[in-house]
Structure formats: C-alpha cells, structure tokens
Amino acid sequence: MSKVTFKYARKSDISLILRFIKELAEFEGLDNQLDLNEESLEDWIFIRNKAEVLFEMLDDEVIGFCLFYHNFSTFMGGAGLYIEDLYIRPEYRSSGYGKSLFKKIAQIAVDRECKKLEFSCPNSNTSSIEFYKHMGASPMTNWTTFRISQNDLKNLAKK
C-alpha cells in the first residue's frame, strides 16, 4: 500500500525545486515569465533563508511541493504563512494529495502559532479556486493585490 510522507527540501534538491516551479508555470501558462535559475533559488531559499519548500512523497516518489514563507500581520499581532506555490503533478490530482499537502501546511502554521495562512491564485484557475474554497478559504474581496516589478522597484528607489 502506498504511503504519503512529507520532507523539507535540502540544498541537494535545488534542481527538483526548479523543475516543479517550471511545471507549475507551464500549467498556469506563465512559463514565459520565468526568470530564475538554480543559483538564485539556492541563494534565496538556503543561504538567505527567505523561503521553505516541503515535498509530498508517495512511497519514494515526489508528487508535489509547496514553497512558503513567513509574513507578519500588525492587525493580528503575529506571523502568518504565505503559500507562494502549491503544486501536485497532474497524474496525482483528484486523489486527495493536494488536500493532504494543504492540510500539512496548515498544521505547520498551527505548530508555529501563526495567525493566518494566505495565498493568491489567478482568477483563471477556477479548479484551484474551488479547491481552496472547499478547504475553507475565503477570497478577500475587499483587498486588491498590487505588485511593483523589479525595474519599477529600482526606479521607485531612485526617486
């Protein structure tokens, strides 16, 4: 019988992390926006310690991953976890593996006494939106996500 386990990524997993990010970008139709490599991932995840990666394993095969990091809420007076990427390989979807990975991340947030768990999802990804709603998530309709890109960020810093 197959057994699901979880493991935190190590430096030696960089190529696997990059492969999962590329698969996710392709799935979302955003692969033309990728601007990363193994060196930058290693720097930000394992040297600067700005994010963590958890793999979901079925027996000895990695079937999914979640990249997440801590954020902070002044209004709630505590830290939260932000899921940047949560991805299950296509052949393992609709079998409960996404749910088990999501629940594991929720348990990590609880264990770390986080006040919230947040993530964003493209409006076009209706299957993921339904999944998140099924897991108890609510869209934040009174908030709009904004982004300042790297070039605009550099220009802003110069002003």
CA-wise closest residue to 118 among 83, 144, 142: 83
Please tell me the distance from the alpha carbon of residue 55 to that of residue 135, in angstroms, as a whole number: 19
Catalytic choice (8, 82, 92, 132) = 132
Task: Tell me the C-alpha distance between 72 and 52, whole Å.
Answer: 16
Note if 132 is an active site residue: yes
State the first-to-last Cα distance of the chain, in angstroms, to the nearest integer: 61
What gap in Å lies between CA 139 and CA 13, rounded to an integer? Answer: 33
Distances (CA, A) of 156 to 145, 150, 159: 18, 10, 5
Q: Which residues are catalytic?
A: 132
